[in-house]
Structure 1
Amino acid sequence: MDLKIVYSTFPSVATAEAAARHLVAQRLAACGNILPGLISFYEWEGALERAEEVVLLLKTRAGQLAPLMDALRALHPYEVPAILSLDVEAADAPFAGWVRAQTVDAAKD
């Protein structure tokens, strides 16, 4: 399957929405879903941190993964953002076709 989901966390709905709007407008992602209400615990510079965040999930095709991740990193407010690519094992055919149609394949264009 040539589809990917890119997972990232943001400090607010506004910052995640700005990134999603840009990436969808650039046709690097077909869709961005923002899930509010995440609480993260992590160690940063020797201290245990707690942060309220939101999750941004982006749907794209494999050919757009590298440019999408580069653009997401450039847009991201964090010094070290979580940007993870998740393989899609299977997808409903009409939805997969829509994702492909909404994104431009960087390898071919």
Structure 2
Amino acid sequence: MGKPTLVYTTFPNLENAKSIVGYLLEKKMIACANLREHEAHYIEDGDIAIKTEVGAFLKTAENKWDVLKDMINEIHPLETPVILKINIDDSNEEFENWICDTIK
């Protein structure tokens, strides 16, 4: 099944994040998601923008990355979403087994 992998993305609001995370859980693309609302500061059209958004850490397996990235890109409401793969060098065996059992 592969090593555990974290995928980080953001959503414009909590409702949208919950909807997409629910879909990814149903499709067994992820085993778990941690959602957190935060303030984002960034450049938009040459100006500094400050908006509230929801960050999501998606717990999955490395071999799901390519399909998961494409799925998020396709259903994400933003034109240019951030979709980052965060490799995990090591983790406890119980967690690895849980990920594998949950999304197989």
Q: TM-score, normalised by structure 2?
A: 0.92
Does the CA contact (< 8 Å) of 1:64 and 1:103 recur in 2? no
Matched, 1:81 2:90: no
Matched, 1:34 2:38: no
Partner of 1:43: 43
Number of corresponding residues = 103
Structure 2 distance, partners of 1:95, 1:3, is: 8
Deviation at 1:64, TM superposition (A): 0.3
Question: Percent same amino acid among aligned pairs?
Answer: 26
User: Counterpart of 1:49 in structure 2: which amino acid?
Assistant: A
Structure 2 distance, partners of 1:90, 1:70, is: 25
Structure 1 distance, partners of 2:88, 2:17, is: 22
Structure 1 distance, partners of 2:92, 2:23, is: 26
Q: Could you list the runs of 4 or more consecutive aligned residues of structure 1 that deviate by over 3 angstroms after TM superposition?
A: none
- 1:1-109 mapped onto 2 (5 Å cutoff): 2-36=3-37, 38-104=38-104
Structure 2 distance, partners of 1:30, 1:67, is: 15
Q: TM-score, normalised by structure 1?
A: 0.88
Structure 2, unpaired ranges of 5+: none
Structure 1, unpaired ranges of 5+: 105-109
Deviation at 1:57, TM superposition (A): 0.8
